[in-house]
Amino acid sequence: MSKATLDPHTAAVARPGHRGFKIDPTAALALPAVLYLVAAYAIPLAILLFAAFRTPEGLSLANFAGFFADAYNWQVTYNTLWSAGMSTLACLVIGYPTAVALARSRGVVQMALLVSLILPLSVGVVVKAFAWTIMLRTNGILNQALLGIGLIDAPLRLLFTPTGLVIGAVNVFLPFMILPIYSVLRLVDARLPEAAATLGAGPVYRFFHVLLPLTLPGIIAGVAFVFSLTVSMYVVPNLLMGEQFMTLPRLVARSYLYFRNEALGSTIAVILLVIAVAVVMGSQYLIRLTRHET
Amino acid sequence: MTSLSLVENGRGARAPSPAGHMPDAYLAVERVTKSYRGVDVLSNLDLAVGQGEFVSLLGPSGCGKTTLLRLIAGLIGIDGGQVLLGGRELTRLPAHRRNVGVVFQNYAPFPHLSVFDNVAFGLRAQRAASETIRPTVERFLSLVQLSHLVDRSAKALSGGQQQRVAVARALAVKPGLLLLDEPFSALDRKLRESMQIDLRMLLRELGITAIFVTHDQDEALVMSDRIAVMNAGRIEQFADPATIYRRPATPFVLDFVGSSTRFPGKVVDAKEGEVVVETARGRFRAPANFITGASVFVAVRPENIRLAPPGEDDSGLELTLVERIFLGPRSVLQLAFTDGERLSIDVPARLAEPLAIGGPVPLAWAVSDTLALPVQ
Ligand SMILES: Nc1ncnc2c1ncn2[C@@H]1O[C@H](COP(=O)(O)OP(=O)(O)O)[C@@H](O)[C@H]1O
Ligand SMILES: [Mg+2]
């Protein structure tokens, strides 16, 4: 330090007060996005939070206490977490092998798989959900196909059942599970499973002790992605489920549109927000944990 | 095979030819063929390795060394032929049932596991009794001198340490055969040389049969019991290092291992065990069996050339000294034929000093050191 102060230029730079005030000019490139996010998210969010905590006696948690005092709301919360959990699980079970196939394929096959994965994202959720109401009907295509190949004797009731809901949700959200797992799988050194095989590890052992631990960050990311999307899904349960299967997002819409109860709507919206933030932060923490352990 | 003709020298009792069928071989690779998109990478390849032997596969990049190793390990399918280990046919077994260990080129310890868990991996996968795992892992870690890093994460190690983990990991399961694919090529020279010696001693101590792939002739000469020189998917010669160097069977082996001076020519006289070859640089005798009229190369290793007029059982040349390059212990002499073509040899510096630039330089070498190889 004594050496630096001999030079007036470095001395000035080294003065503590000057630290942290330098703004990278390239940061200005993010300005339009920042302005947009402030207008479209930050301000409405502030209004929402205010509405959720506002009570006649001032800001308090009274709205939340009121919400959780009602057993029906517990049922709704359970329905929401259950359908999100089951959809996420189904996406994981179906998505993981697909991601492996995608990572192992080459050339045209890989291109075709990727396109068939990404292209359906351009079809709106409403269209997909509506299509599933037709597919899942008692005399719908799915039942006719199952009857036709003799897998079932009588048509299954699928529409307005949790099974139907999960089927529809998987269709909409599967790519969000496959893509993060695929991107991690691609980076796994192909020689690691080979080394495991030459050490006497069979396919099952290799999967659980090499591939799975190495792709854990992708699994966590995919699960967090799909769970936060399915916990807040509105259109799919709205079209595929009856009135008796209420979920939090549907209740939000109902509160605003039918009950005109802004306090209830914003309270539930904040609860959903807390769940989503918890999932994202929890997943980040877990991913970091897997990195530190290795 | 004409390449067999060089054996009659009283020196090598072992056939230096490409390995034929050897019924008592521990590892037998028989007529193995592998092709990619219709192009043969390996064609009808035979290789027989004895138990406890350390064999190097030496050849230029792309000649099929890695393909052969992966095929023996069961990591790729075979198109034709068979592989036997200790009499057991491996060809249709998956990699995890072959008991063939592999150490890859650019290390591949499991990055999510500690050093201990890396070495224990195979033991656990094969359901070894749990009380045997710790002592076994500790034994092999001490054999590769990594005991002090047992709890370290494998990916936090240097390249040399990672490769030691890979060796310990492969040895811990007591493989019937260990395959090493240029395991030290990414290490710096000093580390590589010490690891070569360590590995050689370790494998000898454990009695492990090993095939070691390299494109580095020095590495092959230093480490091997026998060397299989590969070229374009075939084995050109399979013999002990001294035979490979002194009695190369083909011009490819001659060029790939060591340097030499050589002249093309035709056999003009052939009797039992010796030929006379007519070249543009004169007539040379060589111990070999060829028929009169055969096209051959006559070659001499530079260290067999003396600065002297030829004696009784010698061949010789007289050239003009063009340049003398002093390299400390040795000097390189640039010599010219009468037609201007150059030849350079290196000799002990003391011997080069009295020679005058522009003056004649007599060269001589023993007929017994002369090589005659078929032109391919
Ligand atoms: N998976 C593959 N697909 C197509 N060609 C391959 C494949 N693997 C190896 N080859 C070709 O086989 C030849 C031998 O390769 P390799 O066994 O890796 O050689 P080496 O290990 O001696 O350098 C090369 O020409 C290479 O291009
Ligand atoms: Mg190779």
- Domains of chain B, by residue range, sit at 12-247, 260-374
Residues 6+ apart with CB under 8 A from A157: A138
Task: Identify from A194, A199, A212 which residue to disrupt to test chain B contact, counting B C-beta atoms within 10 A and taking the largest count.
Answer: A199
As a whole number, the mean pLDDT across chain A is 89
pLDDT value, residue A138: 87
pLDDT value, residue B108: 86
How many angstroms is it from B73 CA to the middle of ligand 2?
14
Q: Which residues of A touch B (CB under 8 A)?
A: 189, 191-192, 194-203, 205-206, 209-210, 213-214, 290, 293-294
| CA separation for the pair A268, A259 (Å, rounded) | 14
pLDDT value, residue B79: 95
Residues B214-254 have pLDDT tens digits of: 999 999 998 999 999 999 999 999 999 999 999 999 999 99
* Higher-confidence position of A120 and B6: A120
Element (H, E) at B164: helix B159-172
As a whole number, the mean pLDDT across chain B is 89
Has residue A9 been placed in a domain? no
Residues B122-165 have pLDDT tens digits of: 999 999 999 999 999 999 999 999 999 999 999 889 999 999 99
> Is the same domain home to A187 and A46?
no
* CA–CA–CA angle A82, A88, A92 (5° rounding): 145
Element (H, E) at A268: helix A262-293
Has residue A155 been placed in a domain? yes
CB contact under 8 A, A196 and B110: yes
Pull the structure tokens for residue B217: 């002739």
Phi/psi at A93 (5° precision): -65, -40
Q: What percent of chain A has pLDDT over 90?
A: 72
How many angstroms is it from B4 CA to the middle of ligand 1?
30
Element (H, E) at B324: strand B314-326
Q: How many pairs of residues across A and B have Cβ atoms under 8 Å apart?
A: 76
Q: At what angle do helices A141-148 and A125-136 cross, to 10 degrees?
A: 40
Q: With CA atoms as reference, report the closest residue to B305 among B330, B326, B328.
A: B330
Residue A154: C-alpha distances to residues A133, A157, A165, A244, B105 (Å): 19, 9, 20, 25, 60
> Is the same domain home to A148 and A48?
no
| CA separation for the pair B239, B247 (Å, rounded) | 10
Tell me the Cα Rg of chain B: 25
Residue A53: C-alpha distances to residues A259, A271, B71, B94, B163 (Å): 19, 12, 69, 64, 60
Has residue A200 been placed in a domain? yes
> Is the same domain home to A102 and A135?
yes
Element (H, E) at A216: helix A212-231
Has residue A144 been placed in a domain? yes
Q: Which of A7, A33, A60 is the last residue of a domain?
A: A60
> Is the same domain home to A159 and A99?
yes
Band of the pLDDT at B358, cuts 50, 70, 90?
very high
Q: Is B273 left (phi over 0), alpha (psi -120 to 50) or beta?
A: left
Residue type, A36: Y
* CA–CA–CA angle A291, B140, B156 (5° rounding): 25
Residue A2 has pLDDT above 50, yes or no: no
Report chain A residues whose CB lies below 8 A from the CB of B126.
199-200
| CA separation for the pair B223, A140 (Å, rounded) | 72
Complex ipTM > 0.95: no
Range(s) of the domain holding residue A89: 66-293
CB contact under 8 A, A198 and B112: no
Has residue A150 been placed in a domain? yes
Report chain B residues whose CB lies below 8 A from the CB of A205.
125
Mean pLDDT of B45-52: 95
CB contact under 8 A, A199 and B110: no
Element (H, E) at A63: helix A62-69
Report chain A residues whose CB lies below 8 A from the CB of B75.
194, 197-198
In chain A, DSSP finds a helix count (H) and a strand count (E) of: 16, 2
Mean pLDDT of A285-289: 90
Is B231 touching ligand 1 by the criterion CB < 6 Å?
A: no
Q: Which of A13, A45, A60 is the last residue of a domain?
A: A60
Residue A11 C-beta-side C-alpha neighbours within 13 Å: 6
Burial (0-12, 13-18, 19+ Cβ within 10 Å), A56: exposed
Residues B58-87 have pLDDT tens digits of: 999 999 999 999 999 999 999 999 999 999
Residues B97-119 have pLDDT tens digits of: 999 999 998 878 999 999 999 99
Is B66 touching ligand 1 by the criterion CB < 6 Å?
A: yes
Residues A22-57 have pLDDT tens digits of: 778 888 899 999 999 999 999 999 999 999 999 888
CB contact under 8 A, A196 and B126: no
Contact yes or no for A246/A79 (Cβ under 8 A)? yes
What's the CATH number where A274 sits?
1.10.3720.10
Q: With CA atoms as reference, report the closest residue to B157 among B145, B171, B143, B170.
A: B145
> Which residue among B32, B63, B67, B69 has the greatest number of ligand 1 atoms within 8 angstroms of its CB, and so is best to mutate?
B67
Has residue A3 been placed in a domain? no
For ligand 2, a single-atom ion, which residues have Cβ within 5 Å? Answer: B 66
Mean pLDDT of A231-241: 92
DSSP symbol at A17: G
Pull the structure tokens for residue B175: 């493989």
Is B214 touching ligand 1 by the criterion CB < 6 Å?
A: no
Residues A85-123 have pLDDT tens digits of: 999 999 999 999 999 999 999 999 999 999 999 998 889
> Is the same domain home to A37 and A171?
no
> Is the same domain home to A124 and A208?
yes
pLDDT value, residue B1: 32
Q: With CA atoms as reference, report the closest residue to B176 among B110, B87, B78.
A: B87
pLDDT value, residue A14: 42
How many angstroms is it from B83 CA to the middle of ligand 1?
19
> Is the same domain home to A109 and A226?
yes
B113/chain A closest Cα distance in angstroms: 6
Residue B168 has pLDDT above 90, yes or no: yes
* Domain B260-374 class in CATH: mainly beta
Q: With CA atoms as reference, report the closest residue to A272 among A228, A223, A224.
A: A228
- In order, the DSSP letters of B244-309 are HHHS-SSHHHHHHSS--EEEEEEEEEEETTEEEEEETTEEEEES----TT-EEEEEE-GGG-BSS-
Residues 6+ apart with CB under 8 A from A206: A193, A196, A197, B96
Q: With CA atoms as reference, report the closest residue to A210 among A222, A221, A219, A197.
A: A197
Q: Long-range pairs for A277-281 at CB < 8 Å and ≥24 separation?
A: A279/A224, A279/A227, A279/A228, A279/A231, A280/A224, A280/A228
> Is the same domain home to A113 and A236?
yes
Q: What percent of chain A has pLDDT over 70?
A: 92
Q: Which residues of B touch A (CB under 8 A)?
A: 73-75, 94-102, 104, 108, 110-113, 121-122, 124-126, 153, 155, 166, 169-170, 173, 175
> Is the same domain home to A31 and A174?
no
| CA separation for the pair A81, A231 (Å, rounded) | 6
Contact yes or no for A210/A193 (Cβ under 8 A)? yes
A205/chain B closest Cα distance in angstroms: 7
Q: What percent of chain B has pLDDT over 90?
A: 71
CB contact under 8 A, A200 and B110: no
Mean pLDDT of B338-344: 87
Pull the structure tokens for residue B209: 């049969």
> Is the same domain home to A109 and A56?
no
Number of the ligand 1 atom closest to the C-alpha atom of B61: 23
Residues 6+ apart with CB under 8 A from B282: B317
Is B62 touching ligand 1 by the criterion CB < 6 Å?
A: yes
Residue B3 has pLDDT above 60, yes or no: no
Residues A145-204 have pLDDT tens digits of: 999 999 889 888 888 999 999 999 999 999 999 999 999 999 999 999 999 999 999 999
Has residue A112 been placed in a domain? yes
Pull the structure tokens for residue A94: 């179906």
pLDDT value, residue A293: 56
- In order, the DSSP letters of A182-194 are HHHHTTS-THHHH
The number of distinct structural domains making up chain A is: 2
> Is the same domain home to A118 and A234?
yes
Contact yes or no for B288/B6 (Cβ under 8 A)? yes
Pull the structure tokens for residue B329: 């212990």
- In order, the DSSP letters of A144-198 are HHHHHTTS-SS----TTSHHHHHHHHHHHHHHHHHHHHHHHHTTS-THHHHHHHH
* CA–CA–CA angle B50, B195, B232 (5° rounding): 55
| CA separation for the pair A78, A85 (Å, rounded) | 10
**CATH superfamily label, B12-247:** P-loop containing nucleotide triphosphate hydrolases (3.40.50.300)
Q: With CA atoms as reference, report the closest residue to B168 among B129, B137, B205.
A: B137
CB contact under 8 A, A198 and B169: no
> Is the same domain home to A39 and A182?
no
| CA separation for the pair B346, B343 (Å, rounded) | 10
From start to end of B99-239, where are the E strands? 100-103, 177-181, 210-214, 226-231, 234-239
Protein residue with least CA distance to atom 17, ligand 1: B64
Contact yes or no for B315/B371 (Cβ under 8 A)? no
Has residue A13 been placed in a domain? no
3-state secondary structure of B322: strand
Ligand closest to the CA atom of residue B71 = 1
Residues 6+ apart with CB under 8 A from A52: A63, A64, A263, A266, A267, A269, A270
* Higher-confidence position of B133 and B302: B133
Residues 6+ apart with CB under 8 A from A161: none
Q: At what angle do helices A162-185 and A125-136 cross, to 10 degrees?
A: 130
Protein residue with least CA distance to atom 26, ligand 1: B62
pLDDT value, residue B261: 83
